[in-house]
Chain A
């Protein structure tokens, strides 16, 4: 079981309030991702849940029990750190055994769990090596192994993939998702990468300056961002924002349209511009369009290969039902 409830939890460092009081419920078995730009307080929030930082106010409940003043070891949570934080002088086996040794788990049980974790994480051949002899991805798996054997109420991941190269990151993303499917344990995952958030999460929590901007499933956030910040943060490439006369036609202060919701033509369309950089990926083509008179640069996605080059004139037509409208306070207008 691992249902985590935050009730008016806040955190200040000295006079600086990093996290104003916030409420959040993470259901048992849910994969929750905290996402936001650097310095938005997402790691601090995770550390508050872990107990590595004391909260300045409010209550943290784990399975209904108040854990606000419970030391980290007693909360039944396991954490995977950004730097992996493996113990360099211990073998992989001893690293994984460490939390069980601290909890006085019997030797047989320890070995059984280590073997099981090693098979699950593909580490069986490396158990007697030291962390220094492993690659980044293997170290990451050892760190996860050390978390699994504790059989925690919830896993906490603090940007676990940011030290890996791009290809490995995609692989580990899948492995963590599959692990979640198999274990069905609550997981809280912190990242600044919205792709990770979209692909892995059951529930995304978007944070900015310590404030929760929106909570919802990945597609809810994609379809109906509550404000301009969430709209710009979720989705890749970023949503285009248009202000002024064009927006006024829609009775809004700002309208937003995603690059994939604009149809491209070289002959006719609602808007006209000049192609700047064109990124031909094969499966998609991204155009950075200048000179539309509405926004400095607009990004447009066209499926497949489109033969438009730098300097060409491009015509664009937004899909009417995919336009997001925002008022002067940046909030969504339905």
Chain B
């Protein structure tokens, strides 16, 4: 791959893919930017011309904006904390030699293959339904009043559903990382007098640092955009309106494309702020 000829051939061959991917990214981005500076309401007059930063000001000053930002951060943060903590614990558990290990591992990974819409519906109707749900039966069995999950603890319910979906991913990545830990290091620590908890804290956890970073970064990207789970459960009510959902409502329910586009630009900015903070906090794990 080093000759002049093969290098230019490589460039030529890669060009279609690069152009396609670049276009895939640039066209929607430019259209979003363009619409965000226009008053564009398709069913009530269509394109009504340029309005400067009006859409941006209206989106931020709306009473729904700050709650949606905080809802987004709570969902992302909550799911990250739950999946990382339980992911580490499950990975350690699954790494122990036990009977039926292969089957158990597949079962643990299974939730990841369920479509978000389906899993949210299953949770909503089979577990969290205040009349027929399994939780309601459980509560009644112990003589307690059933909880109306999606209205009384709406945000927590969403966090629970999404965590259930993403736990397999975290477990899988962390399990592969834990398998690459040199067992002689653990034995050395054992000889050095470290009890199991300290071996975990001083050897296993630092070894998992990089894998945890990868889990956090990848999950954050996807969690900022969760939509289906909210759409099929609460429809954005009871404080579960995330930024993504708010944009959806502005564009499709209020039919205000310009306002929604401005929201989209804010979402891009928020994602980048979160990304910068994450990189600062955990990014140093990726070098060395």
Contacts and interface: CB of A to CB of B under 8 A. Distances in A.
A103 B192 CA distance: 8
B193 to A, nearest CB: 4
A102 B193 contact: yes
A170 interface: no
A102 B188 contact: no
Contact-residue size bin, chain A (C-beta under 8 Å from the other chain): 20 to 34
Give the contact-size bracket for chain B. Answer: 10 to 19
Interface in A138-152: 146, 150
A73 B190 contact: yes
A85 B185 contact: yes
B266 to A, nearest CB: 38
Given A87-B202, A130-B288, A102 B194 contact: yes
Nearest to A146: B192
Contacts of A51: 191
Contact of A82 (B184, B198, B207): B184
14 contacts: A50-B191, A52-B191, A72-B191, A73-B194, A74-B193, A77-B191, A79-B188, A82-B184, A87-B202, A89-B206, A98-B192, A99-B191, A102-B198, A150-B192
A79 B209 contact: no
Contacts, number: 60
Interface of B: 182, 184-185, 187-195, 198, 202-203, 206-207, 209, 288
B192 A52 contact: no
A132 interface: yes
B150 to A, nearest CB: 43
Contacts of B206: 87, 89
Given A81-B184, A82-B184, A130-B288, A87 B191 contact: no
Given A102-B198, A130-B288, A132-B288, A81 B193 contact: no
Interface of B is mostly: helix
A81 B188 contact: yes
Nearest to B192: A99
B186 to A, nearest CB: 9
Q: Which among B194, B195, B207 has the highest number of chain A CB atoms within 10 Å?
A: B194
Contacts of B195: 73
Interface in A59-103: 71-74, 77-79, 81-83, 85-89, 98-99, 102-103
Count chain B CB atoms within 10 A of each CB in A51, A82, A102, A146 and give the residue with the most. A102
A85 B182 contact: yes
Given A98-B202, A102-B198, A130-B288, A85 B190 contact: no
A83 B184 contact: yes
B205 to A, nearest CB: 10
A99 B193 contact: yes
B283 to A, nearest CB: 16
B99 to A, nearest CB: 15
B184 A85 contact: yes
A305 B245 CA distance: 89
A132 B288 CA distance: 9
Contacts of A72: 190-191
Contacts of B192: 73, 98-99, 102, 146, 150
